[in-house]
Chains A and B, each alone.
Chain A
Amino acid sequence: MDDKELIARRVALELTAGTLVNLGIGLPTTVARYLKSGMDVLFQAENGLIGMDPVPEPGMVDENLADAGGSFIGAVPGACAFDSCVSFGLIRGGHLDVTVLGGLQVDEEGHLANWTIPGKMVPGMGGAMDLVTGSKRVIVAMTHTAKGAPKILKRCTLPLTSIRRIDLIVTDMAVIEATEEGLVLRELAPGVTKEQVIAATEATLIAAHVVPEMVISA
């Protein structure tokens, strides 16, 4: 299992039946593969659909049915389509239970930066700022470091996505909860020690004497 699969499998355990969930493009999208089979989670595509099936049935591709990345998707029975104001009313208005997004940096206050590296990468924020601001729960799924450099910092150096505190960070090394008191180290990835996580993290981590091993979905 590679790092990204480990992260996606761990995030999948955070999703519960009967909730509305928005998965970001890239790694977060793969989380849907690892849900317990038959679990009734509704996925939102921010471009205007509740009830996204990430992979269309063979032969059922419809040019009018795509996700926010433009990839063709399916729609489950009971799905509904709507315009962009409704879609972001759901997101901003507190009707979205969980959003899972990628991250470039997260800081001690739980602030996320994930939309630009000025001068290098300027893709635009798309729906990310609304998602982080409005979702009931925000989960950041990302690698713990980038080319060996920590991504969980005392203070983000990149432009923030929102000043709202995110809820949970799931990386290839650890599960970290963002709380009012600071970042709490909740779980360690298999084979990773507490000391290794602390060394790979610039932000101060609050950690119990013994931190349990990460549970991942089968």
Chain B
Amino acid sequence: MFHKVISLTRAVEKIPDGASVMIGGFMGVGSPHRLIGELVRQNRRHLIIIANDTARPGFGIGQLIDAKAVSRLVVTHIGTNPETQRQMIAGEIEVELTPQGTLAERIRAAGFGLGGILTPTGVGTTVADGKQVIVVGGKSFLLELPLKADFALLAAHRADYRGNLDYALTARNFNPIMAFAGGTVIAEAVEIVPIGVIPPDDVVTPAVLIDYLVERERINGR
């Protein structure tokens, strides 16, 4: 039967140095930890990472920071990762800080075919620098532009072999939104189940958005 499952190694081999990569997760919760670990193992360089945060040293996206794999970051928060701050101050990494709701909507706009979004968040602050202000009904909004990436790396709770995904609790966060905005979308899941096991009403990310599913982790070599 047609399916999208490939090995972890082959999945990450598709991502070249210098690629822009969206990574799901929030402080490492709901991040694709196996894909992140494999990016480090394959010594990827100069990545542009779009994500909520860089978690902490040694954990989640923090591992990519530790490995100096990232040259540019678009994130909402780096306060929990002193190594990200060190690399930013040393000029080794360029950081664009974005309000969290704006980041989510910019990604959604890219994936949903919109030309941008209008948000009141950031009006009158440094976030508005260089951005167009549009007045609608007497209220000011910032025009925030769509944000897409070459790749989106997702973590799901369950996937079926077609690539339908569901999520667990707060591990959902940016994953379903990024599924729309990556040129190539690679998902890892805790379990991969036969098609039909996830009821249609419970599918959060439709399989048509997923290009590759990472095969399940081998346990004791099996």
Q: What residues make up the interface of A, taking CB atoms closer than 8 Å to B? A: 45-49, 62-70, 75, 81-85, 87-88, 91-92, 122-130, 133-134, 159-163
Contact = CB atoms under 8 A, between A and B. Distances in A.
A88 B101 contact: yes
A161 B79 CA distance: 16
25 contacts: A47-B27, A48-B169, A48-B173, A64-B168, A64-B169, A65-B169, A66-B27, A70-B29, A81-B167, A82-B172, A83-B104, A83-B174, A85-B108, A92-B101, A92-B119, A92-B121, A122-B95, A123-B79, A124-B97, A125-B127, A126-B100, A129-B121, A129-B122, A133-B123, A163-B124
A52 B29 CA distance: 15
B146 interface: no
B170 A81 contact: yes
A85 B105 contact: yes
Interface stretch (B5-13, B38-46, B70-78, B195-203): B70-78
B32 interface: no
Label chain B's interface by main secondary structure: mixed
Contact of B99 (A75, A123, A129, A160): A129
Contact of A65 (B76, B170, B175, B177): B170
Contacts of A129: 99, 101-102, 121-122, 125, 127
B132 interface: no
Contacts of B80: 69-70, 123
B105 A88 contact: yes
Contacts of A128: 99
B161 interface: no
Contacts of A163: 123-125
A208 B78 CA distance: 43
Contacts of B171: 64
Contacts of B77: 123-126
Interface pairs A-B: 8 shortest CB-CB: A123-B79, A88-B101, A70-B27, A163-B124, A130-B101, A124-B77, A126-B77, A64-B171
A83 B125 contact: no
Given A70-B26, A85-B108, 19 more contacts: A47-B173, A48-B172, A62-B168, A64-B157, A64-B171, A70-B29, A75-B169, A88-B105, A91-B101, A122-B78, A124-B53, A124-B78, A129-B127, A130-B99, A130-B101, A133-B121, A160-B124, A162-B124, A163-B123
Contacts, number: 148
Contacts of A122: 78, 85, 88, 95, 97
Q: Which of A69, A130, A161, A163 has the most chain B CB atoms closer than 10 A to its own CB?
A: A130
Given A64-B169, A127-B100, A83 B26 contact: no
B26 A48 contact: yes
Contact of A159 (B53, B99, B126): B126
B78 A49 contact: no
B79 to A, nearest CB: 3
A83 B29 contact: no
Nearest to B175: A83
A86 to B, nearest CB: 9
B177 A84 contact: yes
A83 B175 CA distance: 8
Contacts of A46: 100
Contacts of B163: none
Interface string B197-219: 00000001000000000000000
A129 B75 CA distance: 14
B111 to A, nearest CB: 10
A83 B105 CA distance: 11
A98 to B, nearest CB: 17
A133 B125 CA distance: 11
Given A68-B26, A160-B125, A124 B170 contact: no
Nearest to B28: A70
